[in-house]
Amino acid sequence: MGTVVYSTNLIWAFLGPLSSVLYTSAIGIFGLIAAFRQAKQGRRVQIILGLCGIFLLGFAFITASFTFASIAAGPKTVSMRVNDKSIGRRNCGNGSTCADYILAATAGPVSYDLLVNSQAYNVVRVNTCYQVTYYQYKSLLDSTPDTELYHRIKVVSRIETADAAACP
Rounded mean pLDDT, 17-44: 86
- pLDDT beyond 70 at 10: yes
CA 81-108-128 angle, 5° bins: 10
pLDDT of res. 140: 59
Rounded mean pLDDT, 15-36: 89
118 exposed, middle or buried (CB, 10 Å; 0-12, 13-18, 19+)?
exposed
Do residues 132 and 1 make contact, with C-beta atoms less than 8 angstroms apart?
A: no
Reference 126, options 79, 84, 66; nearest CA is 84
pLDDT of res. 16: 84
Domain 74-166 class?
A: mainly beta
Rounded mean pLDDT, 31-51: 83
Per-residue pLDDT band at 25 (split at 50, 70, 90): very high
Do residues 1 and 159 make contact, with C-beta atoms less than 8 angstroms apart?
A: no
Rounded mean pLDDT, 37-66: 87
pLDDT of res. 145: 63
Q: How crowded is residue 27: how many other Cβ atoms within 10 Å of its Cβ? A: 16
Give the residue with greater pLDDT, 126 vs 136.
126
Query: 127-165 burial, b for 16+ CB within 10 Å, e for fewer?
Result: ebbbbbbbbbbeeeeeeeeeeeeebbbbbbbbbbbbeee
